[in-house]
Structure 1
Amino acid sequence: MKGILSVTLFVLFVIVLTGCSGNSAPGISSVERQESTAEPLAAPAEPLTPEQPAAQATMPTINIKMANINFTAILYDNESARTIVQEMPFTLNMEDFALQEKIAELTFPLPSAQTETPATIKAGDLSLWSGNNLVLFYTTFSNAYRYVPVGYIEDVTGLQSALGNGTVTLTFSANE
């Protein structure tokens, strides 16, 4: 029993010594450390809070007309928004949904796009939902659904009353 204990202690001693040694024994090949030519990683971005939406590059504005009222929307610079602008002008009959948004299916194909889940939807937000459904929100509320951001109406004064209840006809056109 004493012999087994001695051998075990000796093996542990050798393992500890070789594990603590930072250098290889002379003549034994080891992997050499090479200087890295890669750029250092950038510091991680601060996490977004619900009050701090992701920054989006914007494109020129568009006009959204309902009856005799016009609203100007600023579009985000993404493939979906660019495709929508290429199809302008167009008119949609947008149905009311959940007393917070107007929604209509677009009649032209859109590229697939990355969806986001904004913590808060704001009145005036213009988004795509479930493929080709264009959504114009007229109230602000907490959100748990995924959308493709398209743009927003900057001045929403009178938007909710202009949209009214039920279905509304909207014409979308590019501003020159």
Structure 2
Amino acid sequence: MKITIGTATFTATLETTPAAQAFADRLPLTVSMTELNGNEKFFDFQTALPARATNPGTIRAGDLMLYGPRTLVLFYRSFPTTYAYTRLGRVDDPAGLAAAVGDGQVTVTFTAP
């Protein structure tokens, strides 16, 4: 999958799960993602995806997750967590991701390879 943020493009690998397949079925997708906690951007879908949340213990920069059944989260910083997420995939090389998403709201486009 490709993720485009402004002039930056990243590749990502999706998991082989029902949630990741449901996400892939929505591609191409352009969304406005909102800043949260200085480490993530999120977007709320109108309809749910098949969530199967677990606690990853540590979030890594580049993780693409689902919080609950409707909230898409793109993490751009690594940190420990006590929250549970459904893993959708991961940015293959997250170098430059934090700079690309910047502060505040950002438009992100997800496309199939």
Give the distance between the partners of 2:48 and 2:38, measured in 1 at CA.
27
Do structure 1's residue 101 and structure 2's residue 101 form an aligned pair?
no
* One-letter amino acid matched to 2:35: D
In the alignment, which of 68, 75, 82 is matched to residue 137 of structure 1?
Answer: 75
Give the distance between the partners of 1:118 and 1:72, measured in 2 at CA.
22
Secondary structure of the 1:83 match is helix
Q: Please report how far the alpha carbon of residue 162 of structure 1 lies from its aligned counterpart in structure 2 after TM superposition.
A: 0.5
Q: Deviations over 1:126-167 (max 9, x none)?
A: 000022100000000011000000000020111000000000
In the alignment, which of 87, 94, 98 is matched to residue 160 of structure 1?
Answer: 98
Secondary structure of the 1:102 match is strand
- The answer (yes or no) to whether the contact 2:45–2:70 under 8 Å persists in 1 is yes
In the alignment, which of 85, 92, 114 is matched to residue 52 of structure 2?
Answer: 114
Identity %: 37
Aligned to 2:11: 72
Q: Please report how far the alpha carbon of residue 107 of structure 1 lies from its aligned counterpart in structure 2 after TM superposition.
A: 3.4
1:43-54 superposed matches below 5 A:
none
Cα RMSD (Å) of the superposition? 0.9
Any gaps of 5 or more consecutive residues in structure 2?
A: none
Q: Which has the higher contact order (CA 8 A, sep 6+)?
A: 2
Aligned to 2:108: 170
Find the structure with the greater CA-based Rg.
Answer: 1
**Aligned length in residues:** 113
Report the structure, 1 or 2, having the larger helix content: 1
* Structure 1 stretches of 4+ moved >3 Å: none
Secondary structure of the 1:160 match is helix
TM-score normalised to the size of structure 2?
Answer: 0.96
Q: Deviations over 1:93-137 (max 9, x none)?
A: 0000000000001234322x3211011100000000022100000
Report the structure, 1 or 2, having the larger strand content: 2
Do structure 1's residue 147 and structure 2's residue 85 form an aligned pair?
yes
- The answer (yes or no) to whether the contact 2:15–2:87 under 8 Å persists in 1 is yes
